[in-house]
Amino acid sequence: MEANTQTSRNIEIVQKKDLTIRTVLNIYGVFAVIVLILSIFTTNIFINENMVFVYNENLMMGKKKIKEFLSFIFGSAIVFFTCVNLYYRKLK
């Protein structure tokens, strides 16, 4: 009777990274900023009562309004991401 010997192999265990509330809020913030920026260009596209897409150039914001809106978006994003990341840094 012969012994069947096998060499041990190095096994690398890979664990999945946990999805935390902090990660979810950061992803939400990125999508919110993208959607708000896209809303600048999509506010003048709508569906009328006949269910037809209509493009109205009169609803397009002026350059000054776009600059104000972009500054609001980026200012809000800075505050949001700072609050989220500082809060979860304190919890660690």
Which pLDDT tens digits describe the chain residue by residue (92 residues)? Answer: 676 766 667 777 777 778 888 999 999 999 999 999 999 888 888 888 898 888 888 888 889 999 999 999 999 999 999 999 998 887 76
pLDDT of residue 1: 64
Rounded Cα distance, 62 and 46, in Å: 19
Rounded Cα distance, 20 and 54, in Å: 42
Residues 6+ apart with CB under 8 A from 58: 44
pLDDT of residue 41: 86
Domain boundaries, the chain: 21-91
pLDDT of residue 92: 67
